[in-house]
Structure 1
Amino acid sequence: MKEIQDHIRGTLKNLYAAEETESLMRIILEHVCRKPYSRILIDGIHPFSPQQQEQIHRIVDRLLLAEPIQYVLGEAFFYNHTFRVDNHTLIPRPETEELVGLILSDYTAKKECRILDVGTGSGCIALSLAKHLPQAQVVALDISAGALEVARENARLLDVGNVSFVLADILAACDWPTLLGGAFDCMVSNPPYILMEEQAAMDRNVLDYEPAGALFVPDDDPLLFYRAIAALGRALIRPGGGLYFEINARYGPELVALLKQMDYQEIELIRDLAGKDRIIKAKR
């Protein structure tokens, strides 16, 4: 065990800070040993098989290329569940958990509802909602066939059956009511919202590995996807239904103004736990 720990620390120390290296070591050992790190420490001496040693070396080698640990392991933890992820999908973020929690607090008491998740990616939002709202019917939409394949696999692994998946481009003209099966009580989206100009300040592990199409919008049209989704919401959200967005903190007031122009009501701009404008909710 000590040899393995020393190998991980020594190999990663020049690329990652000490605290992050310790976190990565814990995650690697939990993944390879298939038990909590606390249990690993309690057990003390742990003989690693040749296969386990090879697996650890492969993981560390990929981390040296700045590949995110979630892609290396093929999984990410989100809202108390483990989701499969790959380079077709974004890595779920903690602030998105706050978005899911907000929707659950608003809809748990409802006897039935239909929810549309636009740009579902790994399905982390749609499947978390479906898992905790068994009375809901959830539709998960994405432009990427690869992302939908991952989302379907996550639905199988989480044993979630109240979700359907739709391959479509939210920016394309379409008979949306027919394609999506009618009206919704709630629409939610974490769409692309990072400006191209912001790439200079971003880490290599994001730029080199996460899908650009799920991250970036043109510098001259930062509200591109919000405008399209809000317009669709006017046609699909039932009166009194909710529209929920995760947003770029730079454009909260502009998005509030846009939704007001589109006749949405009770618009709220909500800060995340880090104090940044991160969520907008509104009623149709």
Structure 2
Amino acid sequence: MILKDILNIYHKELDDLFGNEEVNSFFNILIEHYLDLKRIHLVLEPEYAITKEEEQPLFEALAHLKSQKPIQYILGETEFYGLPFKVNQHTLIPRPETEELVDWIINSHSERSEESQLEESQLKILDIGTGTGCIAISLAKHLKKTKVSALDVSEDALKIAKQNAKLNEVDVEFIKDNILNSRHAEGVSTSHYYDVIVSNPPYVRNLEKAEIQPNVLENEPHLALFVEDENPLQFYKAICEFAQLNLKDNGTLFFEINEYLGKEMIQLMKEFKFKDIELKKDMFGKDRMIFGRK
């Protein structure tokens, strides 16, 4: 079948859902992934034909896209901060806003990591609720002489995170535990004192579900997304408590947050005596990140 004809089928089936440009983008990603062909190939060889065997994954992907399955789950991979990451239904798909959080941490600590010559003075970082491991792995890749640990409650998510650490050739210590339990995640030794704690925990309130795209709502793990309306800061409070015991004096705490709860987050961090608190907007102008110093 001629590849251009398959593209036309994609537009016929998907344009009403995603729009012409997005469908073109999907198709280009898929032909590169499955056929190792670049977009320019369709321009240079408009009559380029593929075999029935080569057609199959494209039509399977089309069926998934019609059901609004995210393309990252169809491919089983995505890119984050310039690095490849495996994803599946047990992990959230890493977002561009989270790249901004990683960038903030790297810019804040790159000089310190360069100065850490001795094992004892390594910059120690803990990522809480790691999911794919995108934050922890990106920090381990870009900050030299840094010891990175990552915690998650989901064994399935940790399996993917471990694969991603191997894929990106970094050494990250992975810990299975629940930051909400009263013993403050015993998997993290009390002898660990961290220079940086970072978290992108669940923060979407049930009342905000109407704002969530169906492809996210129906595919991504709710455990990693949603919190109860009456207690939306439960993870942040637990992590602040944990940081009181496990963050070094003058250590830093970074969060990705709910865009509607910036003021509440500032107040929470003040209650836990954090200093130099800074609320930062993302590329879309939304209150999305916050920083505090112990």
What TM-score bracket applies, with the shorter chain setting the length?
A: over 0.9
- Candidates 49, 62, 75, aligned match of 2:64: 62
CA RMSD of aligned residues (A): 1.6
- The normalised TM-score by structure 1 is 0.95
| Correspondence for 2:93 | 91
* Structure-1 separation of matches of 2:153 and 2:188: 14
Q: Which moved more, 1:149-158 or 1:3-12?
A: 3-12
**One-letter code aligned to 2:182:** A
**One-letter code aligned to 1:126:** A
- Deviation per residue, 1:203-242 (Å, 9 max, x gap): 2111110000100011001111000001101111101111
The answer to whether structure 1 residue 166 and structure 2 residue 175 are counterparts is yes
Q: Secondary structure at the match of 2:111?
A: coil
- Deviation per residue, 1:147-178 (Å, 9 max, x gap): 000000111111112x1100000000226577
Residues 67 and 209 of structure 1 are in contact (CA less than 8 Å); yes or no, is this contact kept in structure 2? yes
TM superposition shift of 1:16:
1.8
Residues 194 and 246 of structure 2 are in contact (CA less than 8 Å); yes or no, is this contact kept in structure 1? yes
Count how many residue pairs are aligned between Structure 1 and Structure 2. Answer: 283
Residues 117 and 189 of structure 1 are in contact (CA less than 8 Å); yes or no, is this contact kept in structure 2? yes
| Correspondence for 2:5 | 3
| Correspondence for 2:147 | 137
* Structure-2 separation of matches of 1:178 and 1:194: 27
* Structure-1 separation of matches of 2:261 and 2:270: 14
TM superposition shift of 1:260:
0.7
- The normalised TM-score by structure 2 is 0.92
**5+ unaligned residues in a row in structure 1: which ranges?**
none
Residues 192 and 213 of structure 1 are in contact (CA less than 8 Å); yes or no, is this contact kept in structure 2? yes
The answer to whether structure 1 residue 51 and structure 2 residue 60 are counterparts is no
Q: Which moved more, 1:97-106 or 1:175-184?
A: 175-184
Residues 179 and 185 of structure 2 are in contact (CA less than 8 Å); yes or no, is this contact kept in structure 1? no
Q: Give runs of aligned pairs for residues 2-21 of structure 1, distance below 5 A.
A: 2-21=4-23
- Candidates 53, 67, 73, aligned match of 1:71: 73
TM superposition shift of 1:11:
2.0
* Structure-1 separation of matches of 2:45 and 2:221: 40
**One-letter code aligned to 1:165:** F
TM superposition shift of 1:248:
0.4
In structure 2, the CA distance between the partners of 1:234 and 1:43, relative to structure 1 (3 Å rule), is farther
Q: Give runs of aligned pairs for residues 116-135 of structure 1, distance below 5 A.
A: 116-135=126-145
**Percent of aligned positions with the same letter in both sequences?**
40
**5+ unaligned residues in a row in structure 2: which ranges?**
117-121
Residues 177 and 183 of structure 1 are in contact (CA less than 8 Å); yes or no, is this contact kept in structure 2? no
| Correspondence for 1:107 | 109
* Structure-2 separation of matches of 1:247 and 1:23: 29
| Correspondence for 1:32 | 34
**One-letter code aligned to 1:185:** D
| Correspondence for 1:205 | 215
In structure 2, the CA distance between the partners of 1:52 and 1:245, relative to structure 1 (3 Å rule), is same
TM superposition shift of 1:5:
1.5
* Structure-2 separation of matches of 1:36 and 1:266: 48
| Correspondence for 1:220 | 230
